[in-house]
């Protein structure tokens, strides 16, 4: 394991993320998007933030990244107030896999994944052999090493999503944030992603992803955060939170939950 990865793993066993009384309202909006949200994210585990569109899931990720400022409340990353982290520390601690991203240049797949090494480079410094090794290892992890020289514009939407994940993995984050990661994936790539997500925690990474897909959350997550109207409806392991009453309340429609081969199946 490379030097920066060893450093990234040396943190205390406290909550990866602590959120207390978090409020957020966009300028000019009549109502808050987040309304006093209080919760915590377990380290070295997979947490799914589950809820319908428009309840503040993506806003919460943007607040965790420091891209938005809360109207009120506090955010801590491994016990440290978010505002105390430098930009370099933020880049070495958190990484985001967005739903989609416009790529303005003709990057090859390798060049694009190497962007994940930016938090470890000095200004204007070129990637080192160890940076290239990290990028190629990330591409091998997502199963796309054969596309290393292919322009990103020439691969499929599903492959591009996996290349974006490789860029995040090359960043060696302590916390990987993913915003609706299955939005462009077919069933085969969903299965691949589920396996990748589960494997990351064995290396010490904390994974947090937003989704409105209960069954994908059930396959991947150790814990669920059910977010409804900007507030926390429930938090806990899958058996306690993936229930018909809670999901019916969360989505505002009658929902039933059955178990097939040990996994919950949601019907509406």
Q: Which of 220, 226, 223 is nearest to 255 (CA)?
A: 226
What does the pLDDT read at residue 3? 35
The whole-number pLDDT of residue 65 equals: 96
> Which among 93, 76, 90, 78 is positioned nearest to 12, based on CA atoms?
78
* Residue ranges making up the domain that contains 123: 3-267
Q: Which residues contact 75 (CB under 8 A, 6 or more apart)?
A: 17, 18, 19, 20, 22, 63, 64, 81, 82
- Nearest to 2, CA basis, from 164, 171, 202: 171
**Cα separation, 232 vs 22, whole angstroms:** 11
Inter-CA distances, 16 with 69, 247, 264, Å: 19, 26, 27
CATH number at residue 217: 3.40.50.300
Q: In total, how many domains does the chain have? A: 1
> Measured on CA atoms in the order 156, 162, 166, 171, is the torsion positive or negative?
positive
Per-residue pLDDT of the chain (268 residues; tens, 9 = 90+): 333 433 333 344 589 999 999 999 999 888 999 999 999 999 999 999 999 988 999 999 999 999 999 999 999 999 999 999 999 999 999 999 998 887 767 899 999 999 999 999 988 788 999 999 999 999 999 989 889 999 998 988 888 889 999 999 999 999 999 999 988 788 888 888 999 998 999 889 999 999 999 989 999 999 999 999 899 999 999 999 999 999 999 999 999 999 888 788 898 8
The pLDDT of residue 13 is 53
């Amino acid at each position: 394991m490379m030097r920066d990865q060893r450093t990234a793993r040396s943190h205390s066993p406290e909550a990866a993320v602590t959120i207390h009384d978090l409020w957020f309202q966009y300028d000019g909006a009549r109502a808050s998007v987040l309304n006093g949200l209080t919760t915590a994210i377990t380290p070295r585990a997979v947490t799914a933030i589950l809820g319908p569109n428009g309840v503040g899931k993506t806003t919460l990720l943007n607040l965790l990244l420091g891209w938005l400022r809360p109207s009120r409340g506090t955010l801590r990353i491994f016990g440290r107030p978010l505002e105390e982290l430098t930009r370099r520390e933020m880049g070495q601690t958190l990484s985001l896999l967005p739903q989609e991203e416009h790529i303005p240049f003709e990057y090859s797949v390798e060049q694009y994944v190497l962007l994940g090494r930016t938090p470890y480079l000095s200004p204007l410094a070129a990637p080192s052999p160890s940076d290239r090794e990290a990028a190629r290892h990330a591409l091998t992890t997502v199963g796309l090493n054969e596309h290393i020289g292919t322009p990103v514009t020439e691969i499929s939407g599903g492959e591009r999503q996996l290349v974006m994940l490789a860029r995040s993995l090359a960043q060696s984050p302590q916390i990987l944030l993913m915003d609706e990661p299955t939005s462009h994936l077919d069933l085969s790539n969903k299965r691949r992603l589920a396996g990748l997500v589960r494997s990351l925690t064995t290396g010490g990474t904390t994974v947090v992803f937003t989704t409105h897909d209960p069954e994908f959350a059930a396959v991947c997550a150790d814990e669920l955060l059910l977010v409804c109207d900007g507030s926390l409806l429930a938090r806990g392991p899958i058996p306690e939170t993936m229930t018909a009453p809670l999901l019916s309340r969360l989505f505002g429609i009658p929902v039933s939950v059955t178990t097939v081969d040990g996994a919950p199946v949601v019907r509406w």
